[in-house]
Amino acid sequence: MPVPPQLRQISETIWELPRSFRDGMLVPARFITSEKLLAGLESGVFEQTANVACLPGILKYSFCMPDGHWGYGFPIGGVAAMDSDSGVISPGGIGFDINCGMRLLLTNLTEEEVRPVIKELVDSLFSRIPTGVGCSGFIHCSRSEFRKLLTEGSRWCLKNGFAWPEDLELTEEGGCFEGADPGACSDKAVERGYDQVGTLGSGNHYCEIQVVRPENVFDNKTAAAFGLTIPNQVVISFHSGSRGFGHQVATDYLATFLRVMTGTYGIRTNDRELACAPFRSPDGQAYFAAMKCAVNMGFANRQMILHRIREVFSRVFNRSPQDLGMGMVYDVAHNTAKLETHEIDGEKREVLVHRKGATRCYGPAMAGIPARYQETGQPVIIGGSMETGSFLLAGESSAASTFFTTAHGSGRTMSRHQAKKMVKGQKLLGEMEQRGIHVRTSTYGGLAEEAGFAYKDMDEVASATEMAGLSRRVAKLLPMGNIKG
């Protein structure tokens, strides 16, 4: 795609649209990327990133990460920090699947041990973890119990026997955003979500068995600190979020903000998808409290999926999950807004960081990450397509310039509709089997949507984050088996 003529290169990995690009821009728009990735950016991404730069209270820059592509409101990969007093909160800067995120699980098994039973493992995971649009979970809690889960997140799972204490330690924010208020959520949102705890969902959500080969370890010391200590070690990563509940929360508050934004608060945006309200206003605070409920639903959902994975591996190998070394590496959230303290122009300030399809990446010695990772920095999990694998990275101190934010995945290069026109799901399934990747899916169409060619070059995205000083590569995780909605 042709880039805007006003775009100027600031460094090897930073390009910038100045405030003069569009009337109303309060800050420049910055694109953290490589030349190769920049060449593939859709024109709409430049427009969206510039529109974000016009939002009241935005500080320093509107950012787009290396995996950036067109989204709703913000680009996916969009990042913006708002002044907590004068700024706004926007559902379009958080997303519909609030707290979709990645979780990485260790084993002490090797590829040689797992390969003979990969089909059994994948088939068992597919039968035990509900997948697909509208699927229901194996936990049938009441609506009132679900509201408790919305306030407690992973703590609810621990109290009910579905988590190890260390799982919470190794989850961002301990698996719970404080201040969640189910009273700020509609009955329709609760109705859509109360029976979906422990479900994978559809789209780009997946659960994948992966191998870490010695030639794909980039930082042996950090890899060992993260638990990767065995040649050809098998790990499991998975991606899911708050399902229909989070989608309804976003839908509800977008409608509210569209009603009150101009008339009540006198705010106008270049794009109605950026509907917003002042963060400190009653409407802004209500959405923030509801968003936290969806965040907590996402954490609990992934915790329940983890519980099922441990059950499956334990049954297949006839050993306990503890004996199989099935501890977590980390759980990182995407699609959130968080109050954080960052240094801006030499002054520490409380800001509201919107991360839309982007991952927090705290560096070494920062508060808010587990004690065991104080020397290495926070683990960062960047999910790729089911054909290319994923990356495990570590947060860097030099990421302060992006409010300690990095990429969250490989990023799409085409729509799902376009991908389905280019390949048949059944053919793709056969090709992956020939390459030693056993896949189970709810629909062939859903499989075709997630073909590897529909995504950016995963190695290029991970390399760009490292070159930009946001997160450094630790290991690449290659697929052996996958379940998808």
Give the residue numbers annotated as catalytic, written as ranges.
408
HSE, CB side, 13 Å, CA atoms: give it for residue 219.
19
CA dist 177 and 152 (Å) reads 8
Distance separating alpha carbons of residues 35 and 40, to the nearest angstrom: 9
Would you put residue 430 in left (φ > 0), alpha (ψ -120 to 50) or beta?
A: alpha
Task: Look at residues 75, 71, 56 and name the one whose alpha carbon lies nearest to residue 17.
Answer: 75
User: 481, 438 in Cβ contact below 8 A?
Assistant: yes
User: Is 410 labeled as ligand-binding?
Assistant: yes
307 marked among binding-site residues: no
Torsional sign, CA 306, 126, 477, 456: negative
Residue 386 is assigned to a ligand binding site = yes
354 annotated to a ligand binding site: no
Find out whether 475 and 458 touch, Cβ atoms under 8 Å. no
Of 474, 414, 359, 468, whose CA–CA distance to 34 is shortest?
468
- Say if residue 205 carries a ligand binding annotation: yes
Q: Which of 235, 291, 301 is nearest to 101 (CA)?
A: 301
What residue has token string 């209270």?
Answer: 57
CA distance 85 to 369: 26
Distance, C-alpha 447 to centroid of its chain: 20
* Token reading at 219: 């930082």
- Taking the C-alpha atoms of residue 182 and residue 245, their distance in angstroms, rounded to an integer, is 11
Q: Is 446 annotated as a binding residue?
A: no
**Residue 238 amino acid letter:** F
Does 417 appear as a known binding residue?
no
207 is in an annotated binding site: yes
Q: Is 408 annotated as a binding residue?
A: yes
Is 383 annotated to bind a ligand? Reply is yes
Distance CA 176, CA 336 (A): 12
Is 343 a known ligand-binding residue? no
348 labeled part of a ligand binding site = no
Amino acid at 389: G
Q: What is the 3-state secondary structure (H, E, C) of 251-314?
A: HHHHHHHHHHCCCCCCCCCCCHHHCCEECCCHHHHHHHHHHHHHHHHHHHHHHHHHHHHHHHHH
- Tell me whether residue 140 is annotated as binding: no
Annotated binding site for GMP, which residues?
204-208, 334-335, 383-386, 390, 408-411, 484
Q: Which residues are annotated as a binding site for Mn(2+)?
A: 97, 205, 239, 334
* Residues flagged as binding site: 97, 204-208, 239, 334-335, 383-386, 390, 408-411, 484
